[in-house]
Every structure is written in C-alpha cells, then in structure tokens.
Amino acid sequence: MDAWIICPFFLEGGRYTINDIHYVADSDRLIPAGETEFARDAAFGYKSSHLREWVEEKTGGRIPARSVASISIQLLRKGGPDAVCEHLCNLEKGSTCIVNAASDRDMAVFAAGMIQAEVKGKRFLCRTAASFVSARLGIIRKAPVLPNDLGINGERSGGLIVVGSYVPKTTKQVEELKSQCGHFLKSIEISVEKVAMRSTKERQDEITRTVEIADIYLRSCKDTLILTSRKLITGKTPSESLEINSKASSALVEIVQRITTRPRYVLAKGGITSSDLATKALGARCAKIAGQALPGVPLWQLGPESKHPEVPYIVFPGNVGDSNALAEVVKQWASVRISSTKELLHNAERGGYAIGAFNVYNLEGVQAVVAAAEDEGSPAILQIHPSALKQGGTPLVACCISAAEQATVPITVHFDHGSSKQELLGALELGFHSVMVDGSDLPFKENISYTKSIAEVAHTKNMVVEAELGRLSGTEDDLTVEDYEARLTDVTQANEFIDTTGIDALAVCIGNVHGKYPESGPNLRLDLLKDLYGLCSKKGVYVVLHGASGLPKELIEECIKLGVRKFNVNTEVRKAYMDSLNSSKKDLIQVMTSAKEAMKAVVAEKMRLFGSAGKAW
C-alpha cells in the first residue's frame, strides 16, 4: 500500500471538502463538520473540521497534521487527471492524502488520475464516501428504483423499517415519517433502557414483545417501523456509550432474526444498523446492487444464502437527506399505496385500455371486486351509488377504503351519481377518491353551475370530478329515466361545459342506457363518441361510459379504441348476486361465499374485456 486516501465528499449527503476543511450542508449554509451534531456523537465524536487535524486527532497523534498531504480543488480543475496522477505518484510511501472536492466532476477527475497512478503500479487504501465509488467505477446516475422495477408489487406482507441511528437528523426524519405515513404505518418503539441497562429477563421480554407484534403487523400487510427510543442514553465514558449502543444494536439484530414473516422490503436506518441487520440478522454474505431508493440511499437485493433471498434491502445512512427523505422512500415502497383515480385513468389513457368501476352494496361485493382485481392483476374502482350509501352509510364507505388500502393492486373508491348538493358535500368528507356530479336532469346552464360548485370544493381535496352531459335512459337502483327524457351529449355544449366546470372526466350519452338494453340490442353513436373523445383528449378530460352491462365484446372493444377509459358496471354484477341466492346452500357463510364467487367471475371477465387485466402496475 503506497498511501491512504481520505475522500469524504458526498454530494447526496451534503458533504464537501474545501481547503482541507470538511463541511456539511444545512439548507443553504455550509457548516464545518466539527460544529455539527455528528461531531458530538458520544462514541464516535470529534472536534476537528480541518481534515489534517482530524487525522491527527483520530490517530491519537500517531500521524501529525503536518505530515498529511492533500489534493486541492485548484489542482483538480486546472491540472486535471495528469496532475492528480503525478501528485499521487510523488507521495511518500505509507503517507496519508486528503482529497478536496465540491462537485461530482471533481470526483471524476480525481478517480481518473488515480487510475493512471494505479496503471503505473501504485496501490492505495481508500477511506471514502459513496461518491468516490460511483466515480471510480463509472456508475451512471439513474432514476430511483421502485417496487415495480423489481416486480414485488404482488407481495402480500408489510415492509420492515428499522431505525437505530440516534443523530438529530434521523429523529427529525422519523417524526416526519410518522406525520406523513401514520395513517398506514405501524410503529413499535424499543426501550433502550430495558435492552441495554436492565436485567437479562427485561431485555428478553422487550425483544419478545417487539417480535410478536411485528410479526402480526407484517402478516397483516402493514408496513412496520421498529425504532429505538429516541431519548439518547450515554455512558460516563466513550467506551461505556459504545457498550450501550452495542447492546441496543444487538437487540435490533435479535428482533429481526426472530421475526418469521418475510417482509416485502427492509429499510435499515443508520450505518451500523444497516450493516448489522444485513450480515448478522439476515445472514447476507452477498447482495446485488439494484440501484438507489433515493439519491445517496443504496438499494440491494439480498443474496440466496440470506434469510430472505432477493428481498429489497434499503441502506439509509443516518446523515443523508432532508427531513422528508425517509417518508418519501417509505411512501414509494409502502405496501399500502393508494393510487388516485386520476392516476388510474391516466395510465389507462396511456395504455389504451379502460378501468372497470363496479357498484358495490355490501362486504361480499367489495371482496368480489378486490379478489378479481388481485387475481387478474388489474386496477379497479369500487363505486357506491347514493341508494347504496343510504343503506350502508359510512361503514360501507369505510369498508371500501379499507379494502382499497389493503389490496395488492391499485383500487380507488368513487361516489356515483351525486344528484344533490347536500349528499355530494357530505360525500366529500367521507374519504372517497373521486365523485360524480350528476346534474344531467337540470337545464344546461344550471348543470354547469351545479357541477362547477362541487368541482371547486372537490379539487381542493385533490379528488377527481366526473360529470354527465346529456341524459341516459333506463333504471339504476330504482331511479328511472324514461326514453323520452333521454338526450345525447352535444359536442358544442360539451366544449363549454368542460371549460367552465373544470371537470376531470365526462360521462357521455351516445345511446347507452342504465340497466338492460332492448331486445334489438344497443345502438351506440360511435361517430359521436369519436368527436367527443377528440374534444376531451385535447382538454385532458377522460371519457366515461355508463351502462356497460350488456354491451357485446366487439362494441366494448370499439369504444375503448375510440377513447373510453372508464366503464360503469352494475346490472350484471347485481344479477350474479341475486342468482346465487337461488342456490340450495342454506348456511350463511356458504351463501356469502357463493355470492362472492359469482360476482367475482363477472368482474374478472369484465377486466379482461376492458383490457385492464395485467395492468395493475
């Protein structure tokens, strides 16, 4: 070994070395490292920001600051790789050299010069951050890796987040994680006092409690946060503090070792934590580097010898990212990732298929749609009609939302045919992801006014708004529109309607009906559909077709080609439910199961017909 290289530049971590002084970025300021929270660590703290002095401090004076060499930013930027090579080749054997850097380009120049020196026979031992490794290996930046990239969206267990880092930055990130993800994230706090300061029995009781609760959460597809208590406990000396940290870390290792459920992913927060969990708890001896979950946050897939082969393992350093960074990663990898209705429709538009919106009235209906969606790998919309809401109330909505949250495919919940302002404003507060404003029975101008008033409120809640222009004949949930009252959607009116109301989706009337079509069959105006889609697509509005029950396969496919991105399905699913009740089964559980399977078959068939099967992610 010819020289030691000290190169702590780390762009993603906000670490810069300028004039031999190492800085940490804090918002728009650069703070000397010796003045930061990291320098005050009870076990690994330091005083020096000047890296020459830091080397002397950390070696106990064995390597004096005056003997430490350095490569300046000026040399990197003016001399280039050749100057770096010459400087490295002239170092005294066994000496220590600091590398200044403030950009990735500085790092690339140093790496190129180092390679030249190695070609000449020089050998170096490097103590560096991740930026040097990327430059040395020529790794090209790419977008963060997402669950879909690794094909794990169908995993039916929760993700495991383990936090052992105590630095204030981590504590702030954990607080933000709980704030942003508390609606789906389960938290278990381990008492450091119990696992590091109390009796063996109290330590084991705390570990066992954590393991049992974590297994329950993970099996229930709940992302689970296990963290050490945030009150920092230190010893009287650095060695005592290190012993406390070691006991807390070994407790985390034992907990993860004893958890039996295979997590959907593992995120380890803190350098020691991530190393110990991977190697000691999970038995990993090798891992595939898949990329990054966030800039500066490596993502591995554990090797075949590990406890959980190929499980994504996110290594989240304690010093990386702003306050939102941890929450951002967890939201991207969460087992519960509710898509918006707009996202579903956008993907359908981009992929040239349609989403099925299925009316549900009870638990069996909800389960049928979700089960079909998961089996078919399809997105779906659970749809509640006002009459169903009147009967099922808030519990029905809560059932739909819970089912959507726990599904392994994207599912949203939609309030259908809101024809009164009072019921729509109430629905906006129940957790629906989208609503349909139905003013189709009103004169044109009144429909515009009514729809606009609801859309303005709904959009403040990031909800998709669908509205109907024209009027469908037929019967849905005891609401009947006679043939003479029906009217087709007018393209000119549609232009004004869309511009004035600001809606996101337009339910068109082209000869489609609610309920059963006449014996002569449907008579859809496909030429009108083509014109309406031409208008809507220019304005970023999605086309919806109600009355999909009973439409033949060829007509459905033609409607999708002409731009329909959401089909409402009710009659056929209801019929399947009612027909199942005529079976000979008498036990209630058997009746429920039979009804669910009957509806599921219809829903699955529609998903294949609409082209959404296999399009979940």
Neighbours of 204 (CB within 10 A): 14
Exactly one of 223, 416, 438, 477 is catalytic; name it.
416
Residue 184 near residue 402 (C-beta atoms within 8 A): no
Q: Given the DSSP bridges, would you call strands 297-302 and 513-514 parallel, antiparallel or unpaired? A: unpaired
Let me know if 504 is exposed, middle or buried by CB neighbors in 10 A (0-12, 13-18, 19+): buried
- Provide the angle, in degrees to the nearest 10, between the axes of the packed helices 553-561 and 588-610: 50
Closest C-alpha to 516, from 478, 456, 476, 554: 476
Q: Given the DSSP bridges, would you call strands 15-18 and 21-26 parallel, antiparallel or unpaired? A: antiparallel
Residue 118 near residue 88 (C-beta atoms within 8 A): no
Name residue 473's beta-bridge partners: 513
Residue 277 near residue 270 (C-beta atoms within 8 A): no
Closest C-alpha to 433, from 477, 383, 393, 394: 383
Structure tokens at 387: 């009459």
The region, left, alpha or beta by phi > 0 then psi within -120 to 50, assigned to residue 383 is beta
Q: How far apart are CA 403 and CA 134, in angstroms?
A: 43
Amino acid at site 210: T
Q: How far apart are CA 409 and CA 387, in angstroms?
A: 27
Token pair 């994230």 is at which residue? Answer: 185
Q: How far apart are CA 416 and CA 433, in angstroms?
A: 11
Q: How far apart are CA 520 and CA 237, in angstroms?
A: 90
Residue 155 near residue 222 (C-beta atoms within 8 A): no
Token pair 């650069």 is at which residue? Answer: 30
Structure tokens at 323: 């306050």
Residues in Cβ contact with 348 at an 8 Å cutoff, skipping those fewer than 6 apart: 354, 355, 379, 542, 565, 566, 612, 615
Residue 598 near residue 579 (C-beta atoms within 8 A): yes
Structure tokens at 255: 């907990």
Q: Is 2 a catalytic residue?
A: no
Catalogue the active-site residues.
Answer: 416
